[in-house]
Amino acid sequence: MPAIATASNLSNHPKLKISRYRDQLTRKRVEGVQVDYEYRGKKYSYSIRLSRTACNYGGNRNWWLCPSCTKRTSVLYCAGLYVCRHCIGGKYGSQLEQPIDNLFRRLDRIRTRLGWQDGIAHGIGERPKGMHRSTYDRLVNEHEQLTAKVWQASLDKLGCTS
């Protein structure tokens, strides 16, 4: 995966240009634009935050804040969520399609290594006999971070991010 997507693979993704919203954004100052759409059978509903900068010749210019990395951009690309071209070309872009499945796979791998029962509902288990304390701590830490991401990904699916 390249760090920045090339024009040819970007064209596979639906685009969202800030210029499309110019009229409604000049009339009043808004913090975000609510988007509702369906992509590959999944429904998405959330608000994309905006940023405003002053123009040299007066007036203001609006930008999207990428929902993934919060960088300013004038075009977002859809890969499930709308993200900037850096995110869609990077690691996150490839994970957007099936974020939860990937996270669960990684969680299960850690749980297997620790000898814990599969499934995060079973919570944190004991340190296996013979495993180094620091290894155990590292795996538990990783497990917790992945669990937090699973929750976040579930919220994203439900459209609770803002």
Residue ranges binding Zn ion (CB under 5 A): 66, 68-69, 83-84, 87
98, 88 contact by CB (below 8 A)? no
Hey, which bits of the chain come out as E strands? 15-17, 32-39, 42-54, 60-65, 72-73, 75-79, 81-83
CB of 118 to Zn ion, least distance (A): 33
Q: Which residue is nearest to Zn ion (CB)?
A: 66
- The residue to which tokens 């070309």 are assigned: 89
Is the Cβ of residue 84 or residue 153 nearer to Zn ion in the bound state? 84
The token pair at 157 is 């699916």
CB of 72 to Zn ion, least distance (A): 10
Q: Is 131 helix (H, G, I), strand (E, B) or coil?
A: coil
Is the Cβ of residue 90 or residue 143 nearer to Zn ion in the bound state? 90
Query: CA distances (Å), 5 to each of 48, 54, 149, in order?
Result: 21, 29, 24
CB of 66 to Zn ion, least distance (A): 3
Is the Cβ of residue 83 or residue 146 nearer to Zn ion in the bound state? 83
Is the Cβ of residue 5 or residue 107 nearer to Zn ion in the bound state? 5
CB of 127 to Zn ion, least distance (A): 38
CA dihedral defined by 56, 63, 66, 17, rounded to 10 degrees?
-130
